[in-house]
Structure 1
């Protein structure tokens, strides 16, 4: 079977695509299950736009993540052994590590960490309040950016004296590739090695202790090198809540009815965070997978070696799956299909449960501490958006604390 004669094309140099990806990808989704993604200097990718086809592809072993899926920074030779994370592994290699580490990241463990995350959120909100001028603050640098790294530091036992430097590492890594990114890596690796050594000598109730204790039925355990790599993985992937939290806050402050519903019923928080992740999550496109062999997706032929990504922006608003998908509804039933904001299949986000708890705690803390929280005077949500074709994020989040 051959693919569509004229698949829609989505040009990432088109300002309208970047400004409103939900509309651009949504139009493509309604024309055909797959579209072609055009980028300067890159062979076009296939982009899957419909929910069921996206789930099928993300769970299909014929499409794999490999080294071509990521940009690899230049790093010193002694850091190279730790750079290949579980995200780049497939098959039995990936399954082995996933089985060993998953208990440390499951929903129950994330809930056990909630009180410690609440303390971190409270401390950051103190800093926000102290640093505000005339009760106006930018929540992006003051709250959303430092929170994920502060949580990582808590969970892997980074000493308090080193946490300011680790915040800087987090900000550098979140900013993406560049000389500063590469320069931060040796410090992260050295800190991870020191933390692992310290935890072996001083047991505690944290993520590193879980990983040190992890053992499979056949006696298999994580090596120290694998644990260093996992800490690096956490630093890389653990920045996700930054953009999610900022998006969630901006969305709610722009929709008073939804904000009022959430304030009126704190019990809505878990399902509200799921709905907000579906509707305004930070991931627009998944990391590309590469076809290991000729295959088909929704009747479209994908040749061996071709890149395929998922438009999360389109799949999470697919009317074939979600009722009235363009409507944000923080009371939406938790029985609705799972969104793809954290992916699907073997590479489903390892830290999804932690990200959910962080977002819930962050939002609850903000709403409780600042009942009059609102966008700062003159702040235009449209103008706060970063021109980033892969990530839905803001460049600032100016608010008045009320």
Structure 2
């Protein structure tokens, strides 16, 4: 069967509204129902006259993430002109071309040699050894934030998102990149406004770009031991390695991606443990389970549910369906992570869940293939340190509201708590 994402005539496939309130409220069951009905579904995006194909099952999601015949840039589809849905959605959101280029021309959207070139410029900062060297600093930041929780509490209750889950990863990534301490609160605000997609996006983009340009000039005058200085050196010594827009886009991508998802992994994971006392008790009794717990929390309540749009560069078979060249697809990570074809009892949170022999992770919360999350090792480490220290420092930690009252930000394709009120 041939399906097409651009003409809306994918006969026989279920149609999904990305903004469906029920899907936003319960994406785990929602995408699972879609997955069991069909390996593919047609999705309407953000109420616009644009559609793509959702790939929902584990093996098929791994194919989309790992097969180089799927490209991020539709210009890489040979022999035909394919409209860039991402560009159209950005325009529909009112983002001016002057700022749009900073969100569509970077590492996350590049393919092939371009992707390799950009990734190599920053990958050394995220190797397993470099991340391990960062652990003492991550632990020190964590302990300081936990020291301050009591002062932020009112009647023993504190918002863990505001006072811990966000400050930890944004402090770590800003130190790594080279964002001064006094500017980090502003970056958190900018990131929140961009992620919410509910307000004008030109303002925060304009301010972030201007701030990065200012930092670049400062670092040129006074180099430091940070990633920004390294990027400036690569740009100034060999402009072919890194262009002006690319350098700004790289900083923007690293800071935003380096704290938003980790913050919500910590928030979602803490809420999950506090509502599953059996798993919380296991982790308290055996802290050595923490690395496995982080993987399971990433599978069970990870913050990213749907990937960026990719395009079939040639005809590709997905199950019984044939994707045509130029078809737009989105991989549903939460569908894959809850797929009973891959995971036993996937709806159950089980921090003792075994990974396959010889593999560090089986979930796709961090993606897969060439675009596997660059900062995955750092995010896992931050999660391990955060959960371990939080449970050790506050043995009586509990939710301050009924779980049903936890307020979430209804952002399609993601799972984010607006607040996490806990009693220390």
Band of TM-score, shorter chain: 0.7 to 0.9
Counterpart of 1:140 (choices 157, 161, 169) is: 161
Counterpart of 1:44 in structure 2 is 51
Counterpart of 2:308 in structure 1 is 287
Note the alpha carbon deviations across 1:138-169, whole angstroms, 9 max, x for none. 11222223333222221122233333333333
Note the alpha carbon deviations across 1:83-104, whole angstroms, 9 max, x for none. 4211111121112212332222
Counting matched residue pairs gives 396
Partners of 1:293 and 1:305 within 8 A in 2:
yes
* TM-score, L = length of structure 2: 0.83
Counting only pairs closer than 5 Å after superposition, residues 133-212 of structure 1 correspond to structure 2 as 133-176=154-197, 178-179=199-200, 181-199=201-219, 204-208=224-228, 211=231
Q: Distance in 1 between matches of 2:130 and 2:232?
A: 15
Pair 208,112 (structure 1): closer, same or farther in 2 beyond 3 Å:
farther
- When structure 1 is superposed on structure 2, of 130-139 and 235-244 the one drifting more is 235-244
Counterpart of 1:356 in structure 2 is 380
Partners of 2:177 and 2:255 within 8 A in 1:
no
Counterpart of 1:234 in structure 2 is 254
Q: Distance in 2 between matches of 1:163 and 1:393?
A: 20
Structure 1 residue matching 2:68: 3-state secondary structure = coil
Q: Distance in 1 between matches of 2:233 and 2:353?
A: 39
1:389 equivalent in alignment to 2:412: yes
Counterpart of 2:371 in structure 1 is 347
Note the alpha carbon deviations across 1:284-315, whole angstroms, 9 max, x for none. 21111123344332231223333211111110
Counterpart of 1:380 in structure 2 is 403
Structure 1 residue matching 2:340: 3-state secondary structure = coil
- Pairwise CA RMSD: 2.8
- When structure 1 is superposed on structure 2, of 144-153 and 363-372 the one drifting more is 144-153
Partners of 1:149 and 1:170 within 8 A in 2:
no
Counterpart of 2:116 (choices 88, 95, 98) is: 95
Pair 219,231 (structure 1): closer, same or farther in 2 beyond 3 Å:
closer
Q: Distance in 2 between matches of 1:113 and 1:68?
A: 38
Query: Displacement of 1:270 after TM fit?
Result: 1.0
Q: Distance in 2 between matches of 1:293 and 1:259?
A: 47
Note the alpha carbon deviations across 1:287-346, whole angstroms, 9 max, x for none. 111233443322312233332111111101212222222221111123375211111122
Partners of 2:2 and 2:323 within 8 A in 1:
no
Counterpart of 2:264 in structure 1 is 243
Counterpart of 1:129 (choices 150, 160, 169) is: 150
Structure 2 residue matching 1:338: 3-state secondary structure = coil
Counterpart of 1:6 (choices 6, 9, 12) is: 12
* TM-score, L = length of structure 1: 0.88
Pair 101,383 (structure 1): closer, same or farther in 2 beyond 3 Å:
closer
Query: Displacement of 1:16 after TM fit?
Result: 3.0
Note the alpha carbon deviations across 1:12-39, whole angstroms, 9 max, x for none. 4543322222222222322332222244
Pair 189,261 (structure 1): closer, same or farther in 2 beyond 3 Å:
same
Structure 2 residue matching 1:123: 3-state secondary structure = helix
Q: Distance in 2 between matches of 1:144 and 1:118?
A: 14
Counterpart of 2:37 (choices 31, 35, 46) is: 31
Note the alpha carbon deviations across 1:49-91, whole angstroms, 9 max, x for none. 11111111112233222353365463584x6764421111112
Instruction: Structure 2 unaligned segments of length 5 or more: list them.
Output: 4-9, 74-83
Structure 1 residue matching 2:43: 3-state secondary structure = strand
Partners of 2:50 and 2:85 within 8 A in 1:
no
Query: Displacement of 1:278 after TM fit?
Result: 0.5
- When structure 1 is superposed on structure 2, of 13-22 and 268-277 the one drifting more is 13-22
Q: Distance in 2 between matches of 1:101 and 1:11?
A: 37
Partners of 1:57 and 1:297 within 8 A in 2:
no
